[in-house]
Amino acid sequence: AQSVTQLDSQVPVFEEAPVELRCNYSSSVSVYLFWYVQYPNQGLQLLLKYLSGSTLVKGINGFEAEFNKSQTSFHLRKPSVHISDTAEYFCAVSDQARGKSTFGDGTTLTVKP
């Protein structure tokens, strides 16, 4: 069984400020880790993923995430946000053997001018 907990349901931040969206996961099997973004009235699109190797992963739009195996976390960060980053962000894990994916409840990031 696997589960994903996104620790903040809403994160308001001012433009050009740094942001961190937190994600913890639990799984009895090995998983891959993903962050997706959903803009209003659209489907989800991939920001970045961790498969193996370096624990710091860089994605699109200046986002990066760090995998911490001991803390079973995969937090998403951006050093300076823009208004256009306002969206909902989902953390997800995928069972390496069976491919079944589990998503967190999402974090709504609101960037204010």
Partner 1 sequence: KAGVTQTPRYLIKTRGQQVTLSCSPISGHRSVSWYQQTPGQGLQFLFEYFSETQRNKGNFPGRFSGRQFSNSRSEMNVSTLELGDSALYLCASRTNNGAGASYNEQFFGPGTRLTVL
Residues that bind partner 1 (CB under 8 A): 32, 34, 36, 41-46, 49, 51, 90, 94-106
The position carrying tokens 């300076």 is: 80
Q: 72 or 101, CB closer to partner 1?
A: 101
- Amino acid present at 55: T
Cβ at position 44, least distance to partner 1 in Å: 4
Cβ at position 101, least distance to partner 1 in Å: 6
- For 26-63, give the DSSP string: EESS-EEEEEEEE-TTS-EEEEEEE-SS-SEEE-GGG-
Count the alpha carbons within 13 Å of 112 in the hemisphere toward its beta carbon: 4
Cβ at position 108, least distance to partner 1 in Å: 11
Q: 69 or 113, CB closer to partner 1?
A: 69
Q: 77 or 103, CB closer to partner 1?
A: 103
For 47, left (φ over 0), alpha (ψ -120 to 50), or beta? alpha
Q: 97 or 113, CB closer to partner 1?
A: 97
Cβ at position 63, least distance to partner 1 in Å: 14
Using alpha carbons only, how large is the chain's radius of gyration in Å?
A: 14
